Amino acid sequence: MQINEILTLERTLFGVPGGSKKRVLEYFSKFIAQQIPALDSEEVFSRLIAREKLGSTGIGEGVALPHCRISHCKEAIGTFIRLRDKIDFDAIDGQPVDLIFLLLVPEDANEAHLQTLANLAETFAQDDLRKALRKSDQPETLYELLTAGVSS
């Protein structure tokens, strides 16, 4: 599944205050429940926190890919957040995070979920893309960069 199939411009956010991993996940949970009323913000938050307890989703280079399976989720849902300030995310390289792509998938999603995560990790491994995302302060540009899959 490609980013343009799971991300919308409305779910591409810039300048979100960080504070802490918990605060960002809580912010996202409330935000996504407003966007998609079938989702319960408390369930989203608790499942994201439970997933983080298994091991950090901070993949390095200032990027995190928090994700979980969720009930009442009919299809994969992505949200990109570029934080105003970097936060500690217990990333594998110990570096703080400012680029976060959150992924929710249906409870029965298995192979598609793993493939989407692999695609996201590959996308965010591009140094030029990360640099371009950090330079932009327009949600439209961030969205274009992510859905094109290439940096500019």
Residues acting as catalytic residues: 67
Which residues touch 94 (CB under 8 Å, ≥6 apart)?
none
Residue 106's SS3 state is: strand
Cβ distance 146 to 12 under 8 Å? yes
Structure tokens at 64: 């995190």
Structure tokens at 70: 């969720």
Of 149, 55, 61, nearest in space to 98 by CA = 61
